[in-house]
Amino acid sequence: MPEGNLPGHPRLVAERAFVSICFSGERALDGAPGRQLVAAANVARARIRRPPHRGGTAHRQARGPAPRAHAGADGAAILVPQRRARAFRSVARRDRAPAADGCSHRLAPRGKSGPPRTAAHRARRPRPTGAPRFALLAAGRIVTLDDAVQSAREHQPQLRQARANTAAAGARAREALAPLLPQLSATAGYNRRIASGGGTVATSTNTGVISSTQNSFSDSVTAQVLVFDFGSQFNRFRSAQAQSDAQAATERATALQIDFNVRAAYFDTRANAALAQVARENLDNQIRHLQQTEGFVQAGTRAEIDLVQARTDTANARVALINADNAYQTSKLNLNAAMGVQGPTDYDVADTQAPPVLGEDGALDALLEEANRARPEMQSLESQIRADQLTVSSLHGQYWPSVGVNAGFIQSGQSLDQLGWRLGAGVSLTWNIFEGGLTRAQVSEAEANVIAAVAQLDLQRQQIRSDVDGARLAVRAAKESLSATQEALTNARERLRLAEQRYAVGVGSAIELGDAQIALAQAAAQAVQADDKLSTARAQLLRALGRQ
């Protein structure tokens, strides 16, 4: 018989929501078993409601609202449906519907007291503002994989940092070009000089010292250009350009890694959502079997221990659902971090599986050739090697002198209308003959950097082979595993169906039924995990091949 017909046991109907408790004056639910049931219901992520009254609406209106029972009163705990849980619970708490089945109000929050909420109170209650309404509307939106990747490309701080580093490297290349271009400078000056003489002059009133004042104006324009320095400055400029190219390739590598991180976080969130659904279906199944077992026990066809075991299995399934929902919410936090956004997790992800990667079943050599050609890490290291080699050439040029030419135009005089001018030009030769071995040490350092960069390139080539081959094998294994788990899931469902039939006619045991339920839950979880592994492996293959 249904559970709601047993004394002290409300019927449990599983849906995804929270519950609250109110009291009516029907029957008492006291003692340790009752308190444990109420406590378990309050923390469950299942919607628990009382069976609909057979009397209809007219009977409920005639019965009238039941008085509120205070703590310790003789009243039965009636588990009443509550609004479905949302991310914006603060808005939901302000807009709860009245309690059903004779409860005029819900239990007041702990630590608060006051008169029951009536219709007049609810009429005067302020409605949510526009912003919370918008938040609740946004709570139902679905985030697709393309949305997540696009958001990461626009907001991810790591990508913004990589772009800034590329811009800085380009600016350094322009800085290295500046000494190769003509340099032009101009100056202007004004001086006023006051000097006193050795004599004095007498007047009718006093005697003064003889002094003189002189103004001086000057201006000049100077131009100079480097003619030849044995390639020192030009190779330094080419080295800066190569470093800028290396940084641009590093930026592309960062973008590829961010795309992979978003895809991996998205597929993990999708898998956790599916696992939460599996846990929810398992709880529904356990509750249905619990109701069936209660009827058998009351009829005397099953032992009391079967009912205890069914209640235990239901409680364990409820705990598993809570953990699965928590894992789903946590995975959405990780997805937000991968997308580079700061905000709530009041959204769901679309059930999108990664499409097959072009050539995922192809030969390894073809995939390796593509990866070595397309991976930006290889391009970055090759540019870095070229930059280090050009640095060595630039330092070799410092062993020799540099030649430059200069020209200047100068004007000077005591007044602006009487300025004298002169024009000059010259050739300069600069040679650092001995600097204590500085140039030689710089050359040795640059040559060592070249050797290190070449070794890093070889290491990266090995890493690419490992990435491509590992991702290819992971895709193949995930395909085979997914096929096997689907077959296992089909068999587990059939096993549970047969176990339920045997248990219903009294042939099967509670252990047999419980084992079938556990096997179905495990098979469903394995199918979800296999699908997640396939999607993640394909994302890894895209990353290994250097594709976006």
Statement: residue 380 has pLDDT above 60: yes
Average pLDDT over every residue of 160-178: 95
Which of the two residues, 199 and 484, has the higher pLDDT score? 484
Buried b (16+ CB within 10 A) or exposed e, 148-185: bbebbbeebeebeebeeebeebbeebeebbebeeeeee
In whole angstroms, give the CA distance from residue 147 to residue 330: 19
The answer to which of 12-21, 150-159, 209-218 has the lowest mean pLDDT is: 12-21
Specify the pLDDT at position 194. Answer: 85
If pLDDT is split at 50, 70 and 90, which confidence band does 140 have? low
pLDDT at residue number 1:
40
| Geometric angle at alpha carbon 478, from 474 and 480, rounded to 5° | 125
Locus of tokens 């059939």: 494
With a pLDDT cut of 90, the percent of the chain lying above it is 53
- Six token digits for residue 280: 């929810």
pLDDT top residue among 523 and 101? 523
Asked whether residue 512 carries a pLDDT value surpassing 90, the answer given is no
pLDDT of residue 203: 54
Instruction: Give whole-number Cα distances, 381 to 172, 244, 448, 454, 459, in Å.
Output: 19, 12, 15, 8, 11
The pLDDT value recorded for residue 328 is 95
The Cα–Cα gap between 539 and 548 comes to 10
CB 263 within 8 A of CB 334: no
Provide the pLDDT for residue 316: 94
Given this model, what pLDDT does residue 74 score? 37
pLDDT of residue 391: 95
Residue located via tokens 């009536």 = 118
Both tokens of 254, joined, read 């960062």
Which of the four pLDDT bands, split at 50, 70 and 90, describes residue 200?
low
Three-state secondary structure along 260-323? HHHHHHHHHHHHHHHHHHHHHHHHHHHHHHHHHHHHHHHHCCCCHHHHHHHHHHHHHHHHHHHH
Contacts of residue 48, defined as CB under 8 A and 6 or more positions apart, other chains included, come to: 10, 12, 13, 19, 41, 79, 81
Q: What is the pLDDT of residues 332-343, one digit of tens each?
A: 999 999 999 988
The first and second tokens of residue 249, run together, are: 């390739």
Residue 78 has pLDDT above 70, yes or no: no
> Where does the pLDDT of residue 204 fall: very low under 50, low under 70, confident under 90, or very high at 90 and above?
low
User: What distance in Å separates the CA atoms of residue 199 and residue 207, rounded to the nearest whole number?
Assistant: 10
**102 Rama sector, left if φ>0, alpha if ψ -120 to 50, beta otherwise:** left
Q: Is the pLDDT of residue 50 over 80?
A: no
Task: Specify which residues 189 forms β-bridges with.
Answer: 218
Domain 154-273+329-545, CATH homologous superfamily name and number: Outer membrane efflux proteins (OEP) (1.20.1600.10)
Instruction: Report the pLDDT value the prediction gives residue 205, as an integer from 0 to 100.
Output: 59
Q: What is the mean pLDDT of residues 223-236?
A: 92
Mean pLDDT, rounded, of the chain: 77
Residue 351 has pLDDT above 70, yes or no: yes
CB 524 within 8 A of CB 487: no
CB of 143 closer than 8 Å to CB of 348: yes
Q: Which of 21-35, 140-154, 419-433, 468-482 has the lowest mean pLDDT?
A: 21-35
CA distances from 326 to 45, 143, 379 (A): 11, 19, 42
Instruction: Kindly tell me if the per-residue pLDDT of 244 is higher than 80.
Output: yes
Provide the pLDDT for residue 357: 92
Rg of the Cα atoms in the chain? 41
- Picking from 546, 51, 61, 511, the residue whose alpha carbon sits closest to that of residue 293 is 511
**Segments of the chain assigned to CATH 1.20.1600.10:** 154-273+329-545
> pLDDT at residue 141 above 80?
yes
Question: Cα–Cα distance between 386 and 247 in angstroms, integer?
Answer: 13
Question: Per-residue pLDDT averaged across 229-243, rounded?
Answer: 94
Measured distance CA(183)–CA(255) in Å, rounded: 40
User: In this predicted model, which residue has the larger pLDDT, 375 or 44?
Assistant: 375
What residues does 194 pair with on adjacent strands? 213
Alpha-carbon span 258 to 247, nearest angstrom: 16
| Tokens encoding 346 | 């009041």
Instruction: Look at residue 160 and give its three-state secondary structure.
Output: helix
**Rounded CA gap, 540 and 470, in Å?**
9
Say how far apart CA 339 and CA 152 lie, in whole Å: 4
Q: Is the pLDDT of residue 76 over 60?
A: no
Average pLDDT over residues 86-104: 37
At residue 487, the pLDDT reads 92
Measured between alpha carbons, how far is 351 from 274 in angstroms, rounded to an integer?
9
Please state the three-class secondary structure of 441-495 as a single string: HHHHHHHHHHHHHHHHHHHHHHHHHHHHHHHHHHHHHHHHHHHHHHHHHHHHHHH
pLDDT band at 59 (very low <50, low <70, confident <90, very high): very low
Q: Which of 11-20, 198-207, 249-258, 428-437 has the largest mean confidence?
A: 249-258
pLDDT in tens, 388-399: 999 999 999 999
**Nearest CA-CA partner of 285 in 313, 325, 253, 245:** 313
Helix (H) or strand (E) holding 365: helix 364-374
pLDDT at position 162, please?
A: 95
Chain centroid to Cα 212, Å, comes to 79
Better-predicted residue by pLDDT, 301 or 95:
301
Reported pTM? 0.66
Question: 3-state DSSP helix/strand/coil percent for the chain, to nearest 5?
Answer: 60, 15, 25
Give the model's pLDDT for residue 102: 37
pLDDT at residue 425 above 60?
yes
In total, the chain counts a number of residues equal to 548
Q: What is the pLDDT of residues 427-471, one digit of tens each?
A: 999 898 888 899 999 999 999 999 999 999 999 999 999 999 999
Q: Are 41 and 48 in contact (CB under 8 A)?
A: yes
Tokens of 188: 């202007």
